[in-house]
């Protein structure tokens, strides 16, 4: 990723294609590293302040202490000094994918009672047994 950041920085054509905000999004993982990038992401650029969304207050405090070092790395990788400060905000947690049963308002236990018919429709006895065991394991 750092190579890509250097390529973007050195090409004047990339400045015409990417906005400053898009460039910061691309350079962010190289500037902070994989671990920090997995717990934070740039949200938007407001004037000379880059707003970063973090998972929780602990990450917010830790990254706030590192903000000047991160700004220096962004300047080095992006090749421009349009970011003067970072603001870390706690992101709204994203909803996890839900099972189809929950979306349709069905109870999982009720759904599995009806699954007996599905197992009976399988002709191959080996596949039928595999299906029943995997269903049993999923509900355990």
Short-list 37, 35, 30, CA closest to 6: 30
Short-list 88, 90, 91, 94, CA closest to 52: 88
The strands making up 49-54's β-sheet, listed across from edge to edge, are 40-46, 49-54, 85-90
Per-residue pLDDT 10s for the chain (140 aa) are 555 555 655 555 555 677 888 888 888 999 999 999 999 999 999 999 999 999 999 999 999 999 999 999 999 888 777 889 999 999 987 777 766 655 555 555 555 555 456 788 888 888 888 888 888 888 86
Tokens encoding 137: 């394991």
Tokens encoding 119: 């197992």
Tokens encoding 30: 């190289």
For the chain, what are the domain ranges? Answer: 2-90, 100-139
**pTM reported for the whole predicted model:** 0.58
CB atoms within 10 A of CB 112: 15
User: What is the topology classification, in CATH, of domain 2-90?
Assistant: GMP Synthetase; Chain A, domain 3 (3.30.300)
Determine the 3-state secondary structure of 1 from DSSP.
coil
Short-list 55, 120, 64, 63, CA closest to 90: 55
């Amino acid at each position: 990723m750092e190579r890509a950041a250097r390529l973007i920085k050195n090409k004047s054509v990339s400045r015409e294609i990417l906005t400053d905000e898009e460039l910061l999004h691309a350079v962010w993982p190289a500037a902070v590293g994989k671990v920090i990038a997995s717990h934070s992401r740039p949200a938007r650029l407001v004037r000379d302040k880059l707003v970063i969304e973090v998972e929780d207050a602990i990450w917010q405090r830790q990254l706030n202490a590192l903000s000047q070092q991160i700004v220096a790395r962004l300047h080095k990788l992006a090749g421009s000094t349009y970011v003067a400060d970072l603001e870390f905000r706690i992101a709204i947690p994203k909803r996890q994918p839900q099972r189809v049963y929950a979306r349709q308002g069905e109870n999982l236990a009720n759904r599995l009672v009806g699954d007996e018919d599905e197992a009976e429709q399988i002709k191959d006895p080996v596949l039928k047994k595999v299906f029943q065991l995997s269903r049993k394991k999923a509900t355990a």
